[in-house]
Chains A and B, each alone.
Chain A
Amino acid sequence: MSASIISIFIVAIFIENFVLNQILGLCPFIGVSNKIDSAVGMGLAVTFVMVMAGVATWSIQAFLLIPLQLEYLQTISFILVIASLVQFVEMVIRKTAPALYQSLGVFLPLITTNCAVLGVALLNIKKNYGLVESAVNSFGGGLGFFFALIIMAGIRERLDVSEIPEAMRGAPIAFVTAGLLATAFMGFSGLV
């Protein structure tokens, strides 16, 4: 049991990395990876929301939708839960860290539409995970997102000062870099 939990954790971080392997949550990945500071804040916020959302949506599915046979309301109810969670996190960050709030800007409310969050909720259900497994998978997924974001922010700070052809500046070079990073992450696939 505990071995499988550890393997779910490792798989979620490295092998099925949400950004680089499953291609989820790209908007903040490209949008907020300009500076390491905001990348750290965003990564932590997303990780937190993912764990909370993973647990909350699993409970809704198990205790509300399945007993009442309302599985077709899955998408609608999940997105509602996630939207309220994000609102909550936003209020907490605004109170406790106004500077971080400023630098995250528009991307904070956009966590709602971050497909990694809804994605992890749907994947937990699809893979028939229990509560603990869902929480671990969500946490690992969030950490994987966090790592990918920070690595990317580090590379992009270097890219800013290098000479890049006019047409490749900004988003295009970021995507090509992400491609190379994803290739590197494929090397983890034999890990578990």
Chain B
Amino acid sequence: MNRLAELTKGIWKENPIFVISLGICPTLAVTSSMTNALGMGIAATFVLMGSNVFISLIRNLVPGKIRIPVYIMIIATFVTMIDKLIAAFSPALSASLGIFIPLIVVNCIILGRAEAYASKNGPMDSLLDAIGMGIGFTIALSCLAFFRELLGEGKLYGFPIPFFKADPALIMIMAPGGFMVFGLLIALKRFMEAKGATK
């Protein structure tokens, strides 16, 4: 199987957020700024890499009936590690992501990839799959955060952007803005794909 395709499928064709609509809770909750989006993306990517490789290694040892609890335990272990690492090295990020770091445990993307991919493929392919999905997740988060931080605060990564700075629409960084930007972005992606198909 083409290794490059394993890596890149998560970025556009099977993008976890926009196509499969998995893991939308953290997506909407942390994308009020680019910095949070990037932090969340990196944290989730690391958890995904760890859990995918580990699950792939033990996939033939775990009896089918108890595989989900086993997977969740493995994921929870990696999440706890990341949680403590972020708290130690970047307390500010840890404070602003809050309970959404431990909530990576219940991010459907991670369990979804474990079940759909890592439990059936070798560790190397699973690692590439994890990296690809992680990048796709990070890009999707940044996409949302771009619009929300720009329109809601007139900033990007905390730096003020002229013109947008003057009169920001606060609602964009609150919950309703997240829902609406997300809905419109999925519609946009579908629209672009429909256009591409008819050409």
Contact = CB atoms under 8 A, between A and B. Distances in A.
B29 A76 contact: no
Interface residues of A, number: 45
A20 interface: yes
B24 interface: yes
A126 B190 CA distance: 40
B84 interface: yes
Contact of A174 (B99, B183, B188, B191): B183
A47 B25 CA distance: 18
Kindly list the 4 A-B residue pairs having the minimum CB-CB distance in the complex, ordered from nearest.
A175-B183, A179-B179, A179-B180, A172-B187
B29 A23 contact: yes
Contact of A72 (B21, B80, B188): B80
B29 A22 contact: yes
Contact of B183 (A23, A109, A172): A172
B72 A79 contact: yes
Contact of B103 (A72, A122, A168, A175): A122
Q: Which of B25, B76, B102, B171: most chain A Cβ within 10 A?
A: B25
A180 interface: yes
Interface string A20-37: 111111110010000000
Given A76-B77, A76-B80, A115 B103 contact: yes
Interface string A60-75: 0000000000001111
A23 B28 contact: yes
Interface residues on B, range: 35 or more
Contact of B186 (A83, A110, A171): A171
B176 A183 contact: yes
B111 interface: yes
Contact of B21 (A30, A76, A165): A30
Contacts of B21: 30, 171
A118 interface: yes
Interface of B: 21-22, 24-26, 28-29, 68-69, 72-73, 76-77, 79-80, 83-84, 98-99, 102-103, 105-108, 111, 171, 174-180, 182-184, 186-188, 190-191, 194
B73 A76 contact: yes
B113 to A, nearest CB: 13
A176 B179 contact: yes
B68 to A, nearest CB: 8
A168 B187 contact: yes
A93 to B, nearest CB: 18
- From A22, A25, A26, name the one whose CB has the most chain B CB atoms within 10 angstroms: A26
Nearest to A175: B183
Nearest to B26: A115
B29 A75 contact: no
A112 interface: yes
A70 to B, nearest CB: 11
B25 A176 contact: no
A167 interface: yes
B24 A118 contact: no
Contacts of B183: 168, 171-179
A166 interface: yes
A26 B100 CA distance: 14
Contact of A113 (B108, B174, B178, B184): B108
Contact of A166 (B98, B106, B194): B194
A186 interface: yes
B99 A122 contact: yes
Given A119-B99, A172-B183, A24 B105 contact: no
A175 B175 CA distance: 11
A76 B191 CA distance: 41
Contacts of A172: 183-184, 186-187, 190
